[in-house]
Amino acid sequence: MDYLENRELSWLKFNKRVLEEAVDPDTPLLERISFSAIYQSNLDEFFMVRVGSLTEKAKDKNAKPDKFSGMTPSQQLDAVFTAVRRLQPSVEGALLTTMSELAEYGYEHVSFDKITKEEMSFLELYFKRELKPFISGIVINDALPFPFLQNKEIYAVVQLGSKKGISIGLIPATINRSERIISLGRDGKRFILAEEVILKFAHLMFKNYKVIDRALIRVTRSAAIIASGRGPEFRRRMEELVDKRKKLAPVRLELSGVFSRDALDYLCKKLKLKNARVFTSRIPLDLSYLFTLQEYDSDPRLHYTVRTPRKPAAVSDTRPVFSQVKSKDILLSFPYESMNLSFIRLLQESANDPKVTSIKITLYRLARSSKVIDALCTAAENGKEVLVMIELRARFDEENNIEWSKQLQEAGVNVIYGPKEYKAHSKLLLITRKAQGGNFDYVTQIGTGNYNEKTAALYTDLMLLTADRDIAADAEAVFAGLVNGTFVENTNKLLVSPLALRPQVLAMMDEQIEIAKNGGKGYIAAKVNSLNDSVIINKLIEASQAGVKIELVVRGLCCLIAGVQGYTENITVRSIVGRFLEHSRIFIFGADSPQQKIYIGSADYMSRNTVRRVEVAAPIEDERLRRRIREMFRIFMKDNAKARIMLSDGSYIHERRNPDTTFNSQEYFYEEAYKRLEDRSARQEQMKINREKGAKKKPAPRKTASKKQTEKKAETKAPAKRGRKKSTP
């Protein structure tokens, strides 16, 4: 169908938008190379997870075709490989062009055909002294077992002269990440990579052989593991699965340049890979070193303008955060406002507050040195009831979360792992505190992003802090379900998947459809990371056909194609890809009015979020905060610098107008955060001035009369007596 698109191909279009940032002239040069590295990192994960999963499905002859495109798993794989191959020249061109422009600032990735004799001698000596002692060459032929190639590690491979068939020489080329860049100059900007040096002198590792050909290779392995469980044994099971994942089947082989066809066929045979899964590259196979290059020059022309999260204007320094939330709901916006000075502060204060009795929280991804974990451990050690639902199945964070769960348990925290078959992806916190009269007060936090101080400075997210008792009751029900392995079916205010989110979303969309059918202005808006829930997509199409205006901001994959006559002509789709990763989720139902409904939460419009995970979204009811979110959405729709608009054929274009009117939403929000704090400081200063002026205008106090004067005055003027005056006899 013309208005639907395959999930995998839509995701590849998103990664193409990431790559566009690597060639955008408005992006500083050293920031451009980071987008090249991000593109590759994204693609690695895509192959490990999505291609790995499709590869397994392709083995099943009864596998169902994709509901959006009608393609079988095998057809989807073919389409994916074709799309990736078509993007490769753009990937190479982006990095090579940026590096050539960086030459003006002294940067040069040197190739062996351009180095001097002195540098060649230096590198040969470097290889013999610094590299060779730590590596070993392995000879591979049919008489020997094929060695295990680690996921995403680089190997130097050489074809060796042999009278009996093909012989391959293999050298692991990963020494130490920090030593991968070999400097050929004082500042490190003129460099060569360690794997390139190893490949150049690989013949020294196989002195009894003739080296016929050589290349660098990199294998990507599937990471598609499925785990279920919830009891004490689940953590041990997860440890086993994470170890098993490292040994899953290869799904891709990358190759630097051209290599002997016979030798390549031999490698593919040993790795059980078809040639269709071999991808050649003219640039390094692992671009993670590009982040290090950024540190070699602090010239502001090469970097983004320095931005640091501001202290939230809505949070005072003079009162505990808990009491501030009791007075009014607080909305936090990251990375523009500081997580450390707001949410982390709330946790730390609560951990040490003697009146706080319990803290309950769901954890998905955490920073390496997590202040959240520190605060939770402190709370438990202070005798509070601390319940932590930590998701051990958070992809590629499994090992971290396993270790965090152990540390939490050692501190006396009650750790649970959530439902057996469902991930808990919600961002939910409930704090209970003793109040006067033996009652309790509650603060509930619902967010769109993880409790990760590092990513909170890189991802755009929203967080609501509220003392609403109905929301607290809903949060308590969510935690009870996580403990008992059950799901919330009915709520007061929160939307909670897998049972009580999608039905409510559909019902609110139906309300807008009815408004449009009755001649009113129906309106639906959403900002999500991805859209592929077929039920929600069908409802959006129905709404469009009914005349409802629909505005979607979808950063990543979007299986709904906008602007198709007869189906989606009333739908617009934008994708914002810029300096910060757009991660916030906002749902809006209805035009601006008291009846308009606004939610923020952790769920995307994906079936995995709406029916296969525990997710939570909260209503924004405070009119101040509602106005703020409406304004935020207006700003998203105004962006013409980093926004791309989806066309009716599924492609995306920049809506870049006259450079004089370029509008960058992310820069606007940072400026707004600065201004909000400045305005608050200005108000506080003005209040201080007013108090001082008021003190000066007060009349001088009267002089106090002496005791003698007071007594004399009392004698001359006695007070009038109360009551009726007596008559004279």
Give Dmax (Cα) for the chain. Answer: 152
User: What is the per-residue pLDDT for 722?
Assistant: 37
> Is 451 labelled as part of a ligand binding site?
no
> Is 583 labelled as part of a ligand binding site?
yes
- Tell me whether strands 414-416 and 423-424 are parallel, antiparallel or unpaired: unpaired
Nearest one of 386, 375, 408, 383 to 479, comparing CA atoms: 386
At residue 80 the predicted structure's pLDDT band, cuts being 50, 70 and 90, is: very high
Exposure string of 452-491, with b = 16+ CB inside 10 Å and e = fewer, is bbebbbebbbbbbbbbbeebbbbbbbbbebbeeeebbeeb
Note whether 392 and 461 are same-domain residues.
Answer: yes
pLDDT tens-digit map of 315-333 = 999 999 999 999 999 999 9
Note whether 530 and 402 are same-domain residues.
Answer: no
pLDDT tens-digit map of 228-270 = 777 778 888 888 888 888 889 999 999 998 999 999 999 999 9
Secondary structure class of 250 (helix, strand, coil)? strand
Asked, for residue 334, whether it belongs to a domain, the answer is: yes
Find out whether 217 and 253 touch, Cβ atoms under 8 Å.
yes
Nearest one of 448, 442, 384, 434 to 616, comparing CA atoms: 448
Alpha helices in 103-190 (DSSP H): 117-126
* Total count of domains within the chain: 2
State yes or no: pLDDT of 452 exceeds 90: yes
State yes or no: pLDDT of 716 exceeds 50: no
- Residues paired with 333 in a beta bridge: 462
Nearest one of 259, 263, 255 to 281, comparing CA atoms: 255
Residue 374's domain spans which residues?
321-486
Please tell me the distance from the alpha carbon of residue 241 to that of residue 371, in angstroms, as a whole number.
Answer: 28
> Is 395 labelled as part of a ligand binding site?
yes
Which of 290-294, 539-543, 704-708 shows the lowest per-residue confidence on average (mean pLDDT)? 704-708
Asked, for residue 630, whether it belongs to a domain, the answer is: yes
Is 203 noted as a catalytic residue in this protein? no
Whether the bond into 498 is cis, omega within 30 of 0: yes
Cα 81 to Cα 94, 537, 546, distances in angstroms? 20, 27, 39
Nearest one of 36, 46, 44 to 91, comparing CA atoms: 36
Exposure string of 492-509, with b = 16+ CB inside 10 Å and e = fewer, is ebbbbbbbbbbebbbebb
Note whether 580 and 608 are same-domain residues.
Answer: yes
State yes or no: pLDDT of 728 exceeds 50: no
User: What is the per-residue pLDDT for 233?
Assistant: 83
Asked, for residue 523, whether it belongs to a domain, the answer is: yes
Catalytic pick among 109, 203, 303, 425? 425
Exposure string of 294-312, with b = 16+ CB inside 10 Å and e = fewer, is bebbeeeebeeeebebbbb
State yes or no: pLDDT of 713 exceeds 50: no
pLDDT tens-digit map of 634-682 = 999 999 999 999 999 999 998 765 667 889 999 999 999 988 888 777 7
Nearest one of 55, 61, 57, 47 to 15, comparing CA atoms: 47
**Which amino acid makes up residue 328?**
K
Please tell me the distance from the alpha carbon of residue 478 to that of residue 497, in angstroms, as a whole number.
Answer: 10
Q: What sign has the CA pseudo-torsion 379, 383, 384, 388? A: positive
Which of 415-429, 488-502, 661-675, 695-709 shows the lowest per-residue confidence on average (mean pLDDT)? 695-709
Please tell me the distance from the alpha carbon of residue 93 to that of residue 80, in angstroms, as a whole number.
Answer: 21
Please tell me the distance from the alpha carbon of residue 565 to that of residue 545, in angstroms, as a whole number.
Answer: 9
> Is 627 labelled as part of a ligand binding site?
no
Domain stops at, among 486, 520, 543: 486
Note whether 654 and 536 are same-domain residues.
Answer: yes
> Is 236 labelled as part of a ligand binding site?
no
At residue 592 the predicted structure's pLDDT band, cuts being 50, 70 and 90, is: confident
Note whether 438 and 529 are same-domain residues.
Answer: no
Note whether 342 and 455 are same-domain residues.
Answer: yes
Asked, for residue 448, whether it belongs to a domain, the answer is: yes
Please tell me the distance from the alpha carbon of residue 490 to that of residue 496, in angstroms, as a whole number.
Answer: 9
Report the share of the chain in percent with pLDDT over 70.
Answer: 93
Note whether 414 and 550 are same-domain residues.
Answer: no
Asked, for residue 609, whether it belongs to a domain, the answer is: yes
Asked, for residue 191, whether it belongs to a domain, the answer is: no
State yes or no: pLDDT of 699 exceeds 70: no
Please tell me the distance from the alpha carbon of residue 308 to that of residue 449, in angstroms, as a whole number.
Answer: 18
Report the share of the chain in percent with pLDDT over 90.
Answer: 81
Note whether 575 and 436 are same-domain residues.
Answer: no
**CATH code of the domain in which 419 resides:** 3.30.870.10
